[in-house]
Amino acid sequence: MTMTRFPFLRRLPVLTVLAAGLWLAFQQPQTPRPEPEDPAQLWVDSVFQSLSFDERLAQLMWVRAHSNLGEKHEAAVERLIRKYQIGGLVFFQGTPEKQAELTNRYQRLARIPLLISMDAEWGLGMRLKESAVSFPRQLMLGAIRDNRLLYEMGREVARHCRRLGVHINFAPVADVNNNPRNPVIHTRSFGEDRYNVAAKAYMYMKGMQDHGVVACAKHFPGHGDTDIDSHLDLPLIPHDTTRLDSIELFPFRVLIDNGVGSIMVAHLSVPALDPTPNLPTTLSRPTVTDLLRRRLGYQGLIMTDALGMKGVTKYHQPGEVEALALQAGNDVLLLPESIEAAFQAIHRFFAEGKLDTAQVFHSVKKVLRLKYDLGLTTTPEIDTTHLRAELNHPRALALKRRLIAASLTLVRNRDDLLPLRRLSDRIAALDIGSAQPSPFQQRLAHYADFDFYQTGHRPDAQTRARLLENLSRYEVVLVGLHNLSTRPGNDFGIRSESLELLRELAQRTRVVVMVFGSPYALRFFDFADWLLAAYDDDPMTQDLAAQGLVGAIAFDGRLPVT
């Protein structure tokens, strides 16, 4: 008889035992594995516990620092760091070399490394004039069609900030500038269209934050529709909540939804949000906590605008300002006028039950967590070698040229005269507001044998008559208006004498007007059949405008305001 073998049956007892063992194992109580500890939270909790009550409060106070005010100012900043262990500094004017030197010195004094911030909306050149690149202001950038360029600018600004040891840039401005009389936002806004403002603010913010610098959307809940400067008084925003939701808050919602690192609250009176008389939004709990924190769901860092501005100090005293700002729900107190007065008032508010300890301590831990995320667990050191050269890298200058070229806006071009096709025609160029040939005229000279003229903003009757006689003989006159103003109350620097000259000249020959200033000034030139918005008097802008007139580059910008 032949025996049939089944290998599976020979292994069955072993498999059965194993299965039984596994079943029994799963029936035994399991000891839960401990959750891995979060190193960030461990560091935050450890540092928080090491701080005294006042040192915790001081983490929420960031003070002013200049690199051009000399030893007395530097010593005063050092005293604040030593005495209070403040949380951060806001650098203003000076030079990059001196700022780097001071940053290194101040960081060595701080037991917990300082957060370094700057107001560098159009790059470090906004504060470090003539020693770092200034990119175009936001209103000029608002004319750009390709928003990817804004991301590139954000990336380059972040490189410069990081090179100089700056962790937070108070940009972008997310205000919708729908008031042509706005004296303080104006050229700092991307314009009057909420969608354009939101899109460009997002790309600028993302470019910075993708490259290691915290952005700050400002000035919440929207500073665009006012004709008062909050540095000088408390502006009123009279709109209802429907309008605020639709226009002013729109860009902020976009930035919040896309992870903006911080938001700055403005000093504004907005009765629709808080009817308390003379209470700026910075000190308003319905605005900061109820609207921004709860309704809009913002969990990032909330900071006040500078607490020495008249928009907040006109009706509230130093000390009270800082205590009310914490009560409102702000995390960071920017530029308190008196830290000593701030401590006294904050202590009084705690004693009177007006401040919630849990809320304030949560803000302290947010600041500490940001320091951890930015690598500020050890004292940083800025390498000053080649610093200025790296802040003015050819890459940055090339990007600036691309931004300007993409912004220049041909507003009117009757019969497609521009770009000029027949440079053999008799063509003159007139600079108004420049005593010497401008960079605009200097570039034109490379292309053809133009005749050049210059005059001031207020040419007298005799000068106007002479210019009219001479310029009327040309087939085309290219007029550049220079050294204008950003102040609406000053008519943006446009003068009646200049307008009279150009109106008369436009009746005699073809006049191309280039406004190297605010696009709001274009309204003065309703008589001009050829009109270019150049936005700024920067030499590179003038150079590129001249190139555009002869067809070397295209004018592709779109007006960001009407």
- Each residue's pLDDT tens digit, 220-243: 999 999 999 999 999 999 999 999
Are 484 and 521 spatial neighbours (Cβ–Cβ below 8 Å)?
yes
Rounded to the nearest 5 degrees, what angle is found at the Cα of 394, between the Cα atoms of 203 and 188? Answer: 40
CA dist., res. 402 & res. 330, Å (int): 38
Output the six-digit token pair for 123: 């790059």
CA dist., res. 255 & res. 266, Å (int): 17
Q: Quick one: fold of 408-549?
A: Rossmann fold (3.40.50)
- pLDDT of 516 over the 60 cut: yes
Q: Is 14 helix (H, G, I), strand (E, B) or coil?
A: helix
Give me the percent of the chain exceeding a pLDDT of 90: 92
DSSP string, 320-388: HHHHHHHHHT-SBEES-S-HHHHHHHHHHHHHTT-S-HHHHHHHHHHHHHHHHHTTTTS------TTHH
User: Quick one: which H or E segment has residue 72?
Assistant: helix 70-84
Residue 419: asked if its preceding bond is cis (omega within 30°), the reply is: yes
CA atoms within 13 A on the CB side of 442: 10
Query: Superfamily for 41-391?
Result: Glycoside hydrolase, family 3, N-terminal domain (3.20.20.300)
Output the six-digit token pair for 284: 């308003």
Q: Where are the domains of the chain?
A: 41-391, 408-549
pLDDT of amino acid 13: 42
The mean pLDDT of 476-504, rounded to a whole number, is 97
The mean pLDDT of 337-356, rounded to a whole number, is 97
Are 85 and 55 spatial neighbours (Cβ–Cβ below 8 Å)?
yes
- pLDDT of 332 over the 70 cut: yes
pLDDT of amino acid 37: 82
Rounded to the nearest 5 degrees, what angle is found at the Cα of 210, between the Cα atoms of 63 and 123? Answer: 50
Q: Is 97 helix (H, G, I), strand (E, B) or coil?
A: helix
- pLDDT of 67 over the 60 cut: yes
Q: Is 456 helix (H, G, I), strand (E, B) or coil?
A: coil
- pLDDT of 189 over the 70 cut: yes
- pLDDT of 521 over the 80 cut: yes
- pLDDT of 157 over the 50 cut: yes
Identify which has the larger pLDDT, 298 or 34.
298
- How many CB atoms sit inside 10 A of residue 162's CB? 16
Output the six-digit token pair for 319: 């000390």
pLDDT of amino acid 14: 40
CA dist., res. 169 & res. 163, Å (int): 13
pLDDT of amino acid 26: 39
